[in-house]
Structure 1
Amino acid sequence: MASSALTGKVETDVEIKASPEQFHDMFTNKPHHLHHSCKDKVQGCDLHEGEWGKVGTIIIWSYVHDGKAKKSKEVIESIDHDKKLITFKVLEGDIMEEYKSFLFTLQVSPKSGGSGSVVHWTMEYEKRHEAIDHPQTLLQLTVDISKDIDAHLTSPN
């Protein structure tokens, strides 16, 4: 049984101008287009197995984290179109050097009392040992990527 000090969860909310549908569609059906909106953070997203927008699909992200080019092989574990929710489980890659398990959940909800949305990111993980930091810089990366995608989705052209 893993000690509770090794398992963790970090969460954050990002307010955006785009609709929940636009943002959810980008991560669910068009993650391979993400690099157009945040080239400095996401270099690419390649389909490894399956098809875009389907549970069980395996994708490989190429991204920059803490100034280094990294990769992450992930499976789409769940998609809930009604709740605008998608979950990615990390299978292989740089993240797995520090974590035994890692799960990203992204949910987009309409902003209460106005236009726009709130993107809720959750990361659940088990660290390989106590000296590993909680993934705060990775969480910040998701905030920055969310803002870049929002700017791309809401730009006039």
Structure 2
Amino acid sequence: MTWAELFKIHARSHKVIDHIIPPAKGKEKVPQTEYDFIHTDMADFPNVSAYCQHLKSMLDQLKNVDFPVDNNKLVLQLVSGLTEPYNGVATLIRQSDPLPQFYQARSMLTLEEAGLTKKVAQNSSSAMIACDSDDSPDVFDYPSSNHNNGGKRSQKSQ
């Protein structure tokens, strides 16, 4: 890909291509789907799978109107829309050379989501155990037969 093509893609993504290259008469402007694609964030979706599925759907729509998006742009858009808990894996994806394929990046994010979900579940159960143990009586609150006789066992008479 030449620098001119990259520049055109960048100009299209920021909706300024018409200032550089005027549209041909009768030719449609860039579809609204490109704007939606660029401004899609994971915060608007319940999970990674739904977010990725939406991006893939928009990719297909753009392809259908002769505005294909290459894998690198798709992966970079995927990463740029992630929420804060995914910053670590987002950095790994961005720093990969070459960038992973979309399906590989999606798998990385799905694994990260599973790990985050497991961590939250563990923290929740630990918090619940901590709360429950505060309500339970302390071991030292119970009288023991060992306290009164200097550590010797009391003998039961028969």
Task: Calculate the TM-score normalised by the size of structure 2.
Answer: 0.26
Which structure is larger by alpha-carbon Rg, 1 or 2?
2
Q: Which has the higher helix share?
A: 2
Task: Calculate the TM-score normalised by the size of structure 1.
Answer: 0.26
Q: Which has the higher contact order (CA 8 A, sep 6+)?
A: 1
Q: Which has the higher strand share?
A: 1
